[in-house]
Amino acid sequence: MLSKLAFAGIKSRLKDYLVLFSGLIVSAATFYMFMALATNRDFLGKNSMISSGNTVIVFVFGAILLAIITLVYLIYANSFLLNMRQRDYGMFMMLGAKTGKIARLVFIETFSLGMIATIVGSVIGVGLSQVVAQLLVNQMGLTLHHFNAFYIPTLLITLIFFGVMFIFAALWNSRKFVKTPVLKLLHYASQPNRVAAKPMVLILEAILGLTLLATGYWAMAHLMLLNLMAIPIALVTIVLGSYFTFNATFIWVIHFLKRRQKFAMKGLNNFTLSQLSFRLRDYTRMLAMISILFALALGAITVGLGFKNDIGTMAKIGGAYDLTVYTKNAAIEKKIDQLDVKSSTTYDYKVAGGAIYYQLDQLQKQPLYRLHYPKQNAANFLPTIKRDQASDYLKKDSVATVSLTQVLGVDTATATDSTALHLVSDSRFQALSGKTGQLTLIRVRDFQDAAKLIGEIQDAQLKAAPQYKDCLMNSKYTYFMNVNSLYSGMIFMGFFLGISFLAMLASCLMFKILSGAYSDIRRYDMLNKMGVRGRALKGSVSKEIGVLYALPGLLGIIHVLFGLQLFKALMIDPYNGIWIPFTIFIVLYGIYYCLTAWLYRGIVIPKVEIKK
């Protein structure tokens, strides 16, 4: 009978259970997705720009941090479950149900819900890992080695970790229901955590928080000096610094606004500020953790997109010309016609006596484009494309003359002996024996967009004229593919981890906020009975939750701006195009805010509005 009543209670709150269940699924799926990378040493070794050992160490720190965050999240989710069921089980105990029976029901409900969510989440994690990997590979043209979406060690770690956590949660819940007096269960509304705002304590906390944050930011900016020690130093100092900064500023701002009568007495502002004061210490701990998660998610996506941008930038170093055509047939010419060509130049040549001969007059009429590198100490080391002067080819030791073989060589593109290539007059060229060949140099408007088609043209040339293999293997396209292969792993890990941390971030913040919703029902009901309009109540909810979302978001953005210093040694410009990932992430973050506010309003705002 008691089991039927408990099940009926679950059915009556099915919507809330679905929210909890989906959150636990997201948590398990996120944990699996991260560990699918962290436990796969072969993948980390083959797809990272730093050594396998160092990559594993970085991911070990990440795994520890994720485990702590997951533990905190499970505490919030468990609190949400307790708040839903306290009144129901308190009612059963008041009606004479034995505490042992209640404890057993609570244990079974908590553990069953958790493990079912873990299994479903792990399955979804496998599917999401495969889908995300496939999308990134297809949409970005990435190349991955040794990535397995279904990885048995990861599955076992996920099941064991969550299994242990839910056993402890079930035991804790059972003990809490047994030890807590019935009247307290029936009237479970939390008491506010009254925090005396001592100015000196707040000032000391603010100074300590800023000092710790500055230390963490300094460590990230001096990776070359501290080596891998920069990561644990930054991790500890930034986490603690975030907490103390929030604890000092959050309390001070709320008390400051409450003292401003003009602001506090406008609409429901005073009520909203009081809501934020409620359980203040819990909020500061949560906000500090969310700011770290926000920084990890946004930082990972920013770095991933940064490496993606670097591929295009690095491709420019591969040469001034995007495609060199050594041989032609109908199929090759058809593909060339599909290119968005910026410039195309054809030169006649002859091979005689082991040397290559070009007509000087042709080069002077159509000088070559070449990469021009800035001075050695220049801040920007990337080359620009400049065109030779016609007079450059008359100077024996000019850069234009010495480097001709690299562009116009037809035996091997790696040749550096400029004496193997000669510029001669038209009359001498005509007098040379041998067949006249043609070499076409093409520049396109967007190399990355045309890369696939250029690759097909290169393969067609290799098939039609294998003797040009050495030249083709040293082409700009080959260089681009090597860079793409090198960067693909880093891009994939950035986007993959960013998506994972974003899901965990949203779940943590959502359930921390929703876990306090049931204790707020009476407050909003009282305001409704006093005649406060539903629109004003919704506005109060939106402001309260908006503050809780905005504060960690702002600090998280600051963390990212300093944290990108870690990648200066690996990226050309970590801050290039930074507005793109920031905009994408803030939009997604805003969607989670809207969802949380909608769910919260559905719990606390009365369905029937009482008008004045």
Instruction: Give 389 or 184, the one with higher predicted confidence.
Output: 389
How confident is the model at residue 413, as a pLDDT?
41
Close Cβ partners of 297 (under 8 Å, ≥ 6 residues apart) = 497, 498, 499, 500, 501, 502, 505, 585
Whether 50 shows a pLDDT value over 60: the answer reads no
Whether 228 is in a domain gets the answer yes
In a shared domain, residues 131 and 56 = yes
In a shared domain, residues 448 and 584 = no
In a shared domain, residues 162 and 207 = no
Strand 437-444 and strand 369-372: the pairing is unpaired
Q: 154, 188, 222: which is the final residue of a domain?
A: 188
How confident is the model at residue 183, as a pLDDT?
57
How confident is the model at residue 231, as a pLDDT?
80
In a shared domain, residues 480 and 594 = yes
| Dist CA 69 CA 327 (whole Å) | 59
How confident is the model at residue 610, as a pLDDT?
59
| Dist CA 341 CA 442 (whole Å) | 7
In a shared domain, residues 23 and 162 = yes
Whether 547 is in a domain gets the answer no
State the average pLDDT for the chain. 78
Whether 417 shows a pLDDT value over 50: the answer reads no
Number of domains in the chain: 3
In a shared domain, residues 348 and 309 = no
Compute CA distances 58 → 123, 231, 398, whole Å: 26, 8, 48
How confident is the model at residue 418, as a pLDDT?
44
| Tokens (6 digits) for 162 | 């969550």
Whether 583 is in a domain gets the answer yes
How confident is the model at residue 264, as a pLDDT?
74
- Concatenating the DSSP letter of every residue in 447-502 gives HHHHHHHHHHHHHHHHHH-GGGHHHHHTSHHHHHHHHHHHHHHHHHHHHHHHHHHH
How confident is the model at residue 4, as a pLDDT?
63
Q: 139, 171, 188: which is the final residue of a domain?
A: 188
Query: pLDDT tens for residues 522-567?
Result: 777 887 778 778 788 888 888 888 888 888 888 889 998 888 888 7
Whether 194 shows a pLDDT value over 70: the answer reads no
| Dist CA 477 CA 458 (whole Å) | 8
Query: pLDDT tens for residues 278-317?
Result: 666 667 777 887 888 888 888 888 888 888 888 877 777 8
* pLDDT band at residue 127 using 50, 70 and 90 as cut-offs: confident
Q: 158, 188, 218: which is the final residue of a domain?
A: 188
| Dist CA 133 CA 148 (whole Å) | 10
Whether 608 shows a pLDDT value over 70: the answer reads no
Above pLDDT 90, what percent of the chain?
4
Whether 29 is in a domain gets the answer yes
Region 491-511 average pLDDT: 75
Q: Which helix (H) or strand (E) holds 440?
A: strand 437-444
In a shared domain, residues 178 and 234 = no
Whether 593 is in a domain gets the answer yes
* pLDDT band at residue 460 using 50, 70 and 90 as cut-offs: very high
| Dist CA 10 CA 85 (whole Å) | 9
In a shared domain, residues 264 and 356 = no
Whether 541 is in a domain gets the answer no
Whether 437 shows a pLDDT value over 80: the answer reads yes
> At residue 14, what is the residue type?
L
In a shared domain, residues 35 and 182 = yes
**114 lies in which domain range?**
1-188
In a shared domain, residues 130 and 96 = yes
- Concatenating the DSSP letter of every residue in 318-363 gives G-S-SEEE----HHHHHHHHTS-EEEEEEEEEEEETTEEEEEHHHH
Whether 574 shows a pLDDT value over 60: the answer reads yes
Tokens 């594993």 map to which residue? 56
Close Cβ partners of 527 (under 8 Å, ≥ 6 residues apart) = 268, 271, 537
Whether 36 is in a domain gets the answer yes
| Dist CA 283 CA 254 (whole Å) | 13
Query: pLDDT tens for residues 132-174?
Result: 777 766 655 556 666 677 888 888 988 998 888 888 888 887 7
How confident is the model at residue 447, as a pLDDT?
87
pTM for the structure as a whole: 0.70
Whether 457 is in a domain gets the answer yes
In a shared domain, residues 418 and 380 = yes
| Dist CA 141 CA 138 (whole Å) | 5
Task: Answer for the pair 49, 570: CB distance below 8 angstroms, yes or no.
Answer: yes
Whether 189 shows a pLDDT value over 90: the answer reads no
In a shared domain, residues 169 and 234 = no
Task: Answer for the pair 408, 402: CB distance below 8 angstroms, yes or no.
Answer: no
Lowest mean pLDDT segment, chosen from 134-143, 257-266, 426-435: 134-143
